[in-house]
Amino acid sequence: MTQAPDLPRLDPPLERPLDRPLERPLELPPRPLGAPPRRVPSVDDLISGRARPVSVRSPLHQRSVRYARSWIHRHRISLVLLTALLVVVGIVHGVGLSRMPLPVDDEGTYMAQAWAVQVHHALTPYTYWYDHPPVGWIQLAGWTFVTHAFSSLSIAVVAGRRIMLLYAVVDAALLYLIARRLRLSRLWASVGVLAFALSPLAVDYQRMVYLDNLAMPWTLAAFALALTPRRRLWTFGASGACFAVAVLSKETMLLFAPPLIYQVWQRAHRSTRAFCVTATASVFALVVAIYPLLAVLKGELVPGPGHVSLSSAIAFQLSGRQGTGNPFNPSSQAHSLVAGWLHLDPWLPLAGLLCLPVGLSVRRYRPIAVAEAIALLDVLRGGYLPVPFVIGLLPFAALLVAATGSTLSGLVRWESDRRPWAVVKAGTLLGGAAALLVFVVPAWAAGLQTQMATNQVAPTAQAEGWVEHHVPHSDRLLVDDTVWVDLVDHGFNRPYGVVWFYKLGYVNNLDPSVKRTLGGGWRSFQYVIETPSMRAALAGSGSQVLPQVAQAVGHSTTVASFGRGVDTIDVRRITVTPATTTATTIATSAHRPNQSKQNKQSKQTSQTNQR
């Protein structure tokens, strides 16, 4: 061992420049001063065990109660205001939802699928053919289970609309949250909520059992989380997860993926941005990937003989479907659809369009404006425009209205502008707002009045009651999806005793199970319940798309009729000569052997579908 000299000391200490300049300081508020300097235990304390800390944290429930109290105290004004707003939203949406609007077949379809999930633990009553990802009606099934929707006295579609009321209220609350996180004042946040909730267009579409309504809160939640004030990493991940649920509820929400990622990118801090964007994107992509994985596990990813497949469903949705045309072409379907929207309320969509420039020019509002712009462009694109597409447009339009109002009112600077100039500006703005209100308020009041007072549901309920008492339960019925669940609940056989009418057409229907089972086409049925939806489907070139349905209607006579005008529901008895009758009773045991012989390895039959 070498000798031990004294510890050397250098005097003065070496001063060496750093290898590189210090990082530019981050643009963050100064770090809050930490806890006061803590007493550090001495080595003696450590060794003797005196320093071993005891838990000083209070129990979890105490901490949560304390946190909840302080949270409520901090947000008390917003909470009171928001409660009032939500009560208004609840009343406007809730009063009359069992009467308006007219039930459409899509609503019945989703209720039937929720019913299948809840009662038979299958994704659909017929073969699931990947028309839409199933999370929407799985949510719906959760709610119908909780609320005992299928055992209540009202018809299934109305029970579903009660659930939609909840979603509309949540939409409104999330809209307020987003507005506040965009640093809008409480006033303008409330304006946004009211613009969204009181528009007759929004009320009409949000009452209906559409997948878009089931997806919308998740999309809004994704944006609200992406606007996190604390910029926590997990919040961005949660945003991705919410958005994945939205897309798995309704695939058109995918349109909002770019604005969401943009929002995350904009909100995240430079130092952690890459991780935040990765969190949102990877969680989203991986959760959405469960859907194709489902198809893989069922052996239905790619087309094959005798079974549906995800890829053919996607091909159908993207290109197989006949486009609805350009909305500016007066003879196109898209035109009549958009005209229908604007008939209900032109003001909110128009305001959304007019507010776009302001939204795009203010950095903070840009992601929202991009979302609105993308949705609008998709309407104008001229491809297939789904009926409920407008639901996704409206919240962003309302937010833009609030953001624009806030921006414009911010132009009036009472402190810095000269008084006359400020008065002129404020006067112009107030005048504009007043003029707008003079037009908008009466129009909306009239629209909401209609939606609360008119009853378009009654014929459906009456028709169901009549069928239940006058039609033998062993007969086979061709029905609109709207009444399917109720008739099945009333003892008609499913799924081939009451049959969705469009299952008989093979153009818009990739599910081969009905054709396989009911080889006789329209002749297999005894009754057809003709509803406005069915009539609309058969109108124009519809009878070529659904020839069997047209035949059924053509070979039948009305035995009972409910409602008036275009809303009439006819119960029609099909008249076939006995010689041509292939199956007059439902022989469930008869078609089974045939079925299994037809395709053993097929996973398409209704039985296997109930997994």
Contact footprint for another protein (CB under 8 A):
1-11, 13-16, 18-20, 22-23, 26, 28, 31, 37-38, 40-41, 43, 45-47, 49, 51-55, 230-234, 269, 271-272, 274-276, 278-279, 281-283, 286-287, 290, 293-294, 297-298, 611
Kindly state the smallest distance separating residue 53's Cβ from another protein, in Å: 5
Nearest distance in Å: CB 496, another protein:
24
> Based on CB atoms, which residue is closest to another protein, 43 or 539?
43
Is the CB of 20 or the CB of 419 nearer to another protein? 20
Mind giving me the DSSP string for 69-91? HHHHHHTHHHHHHHHHHHHHHHH
The kind and range of the H/E element at 381 are helix 366-381
Q: Which is nearer to another protein, 16 or 600 (CB)?
A: 16
Kindly state the smallest distance separating residue 299's Cβ from another protein, in Å: 10
**Residue 499 bridge partners (DSSP):** 478
> How far apart, in Å, are the Cα atoms of 197 and each of 165, 391, 395?
11, 12, 9
Residue pair 234/275 in contact by the 8 Å Cβ criterion: no
Q: Is-contact 499 525, C-beta < 8 A?
A: yes
Name the minimum Å distance from CB 237 to another protein.
8
Q: Apex CA 575: angle with CA 572 and CA 576, to 5°?
A: 145
Complete DSSP assignment for 445-508: HHHHHHHHH---SHHHHHHHHHHHHHS-TTS-EEE-GGGHHHHHHTT--TTTTEEEGGGG-SSS
Smallest gap from Cβ 142 to another protein, in A, equals: 15
**Could you count the other beta carbons within 10 Å of the beta carbon of residue 564?**
8
Exposure string for 314-328, b = 16+ CB within 10 A, e = fewer? eebbeeeeeebbbbe
Min separation Cβ 296 and another protein, Å: 9
Query: What are residue 556's phi and psi, to 5 degrees?
Result: -135, 160
**Contact between 122 and 610 (Cβ < 8 Å):** yes
Nearer to another protein, 237 or 459 (CB): 237
Question: Rounded to the nearest whole angstrom, what is the least distance from the CB of residue 48 to another protein in the complex?
Answer: 9
The span from the first CA to the last CA of the chain, in angstroms, equals 79
Minimum Å distance from CB 178 to another protein?
21
- Write down the least CB distance from residue 235 to another protein, Å: 9
Is-contact 195 351, C-beta < 8 A? Answer: yes
